[in-house]
Amino acid sequence: MELLDGKSLSGELIDSVKLEAEKLKPTLAVILVGEHPASMAYVKNKKKACERASIGYREVNLPTDIAQDELIAEVEKLNQDDEVTGFIVQLPLPDSIYVPEVIRSIDPKKDVDGFQAYNLGKMFLSSEFEDLPPATPSGIVKLLDHYDIPIQGKEVVVVGHSNHVGKPISVMMLNRNATVTTCHIHTQDLVSHTKRADILIVAVGKAGLITGDMVKEGVVVVDVGINRNDDGKLCGDVDFDSVSGKASYISPVPGGVGPMTVAALILNTIHAAKRQV
Residue 276 bears catalytic tag: no
Q: Which of 90, 154, 198, 239 is catalytic?
A: 90
Q: What's the rounded Cα separation, in Å, for the pair 18 and 215?
A: 40
Q: Which of 5, 111, 113, 223 is catalytic?
A: 113
Q: Rounded to whole angstroms, what are the CA distances from 253 to 140, 267, 276, 277?
A: 14, 22, 36, 38
Q: Which of 5, 46, 111, 223 is catalytic?
A: 46
Neighbours of 106 (CB within 10 A): 26
Q: What's the rounded Cα separation, in Å, for the pair 189 and 11?
A: 39
Residue 113 bears catalytic tag: yes
131 class by beta-carbon count within 10 Å (0-12 exposed, 13-18 middle, 19+ buried): middle
Neighbours of 40 (CB within 10 A): 13
Q: Of the candidates 73, 51, 69, 48, which has an alpha carbon nearest to the alpha carbon of residue 60?
A: 73
Q: At what angle do helices 135-146 and 166-175 cross, to 10 degrees?
A: 40
In the 8-state DSSP scheme, what is residue 36? Answer: -
In the 8-state DSSP scheme, what is residue 168? Answer: H
Q: What's the rounded Cα separation, in Å, for the pair 91 and 74?
A: 15
Residue 110 bears catalytic tag: no
Q: At what angle do helices 37-53 and 6-16 cross, to 10 degrees?
A: 40
R_g (Cα) of the chain, nearest Å: 18
**Catalytic residue ranges:** 46, 90, 113
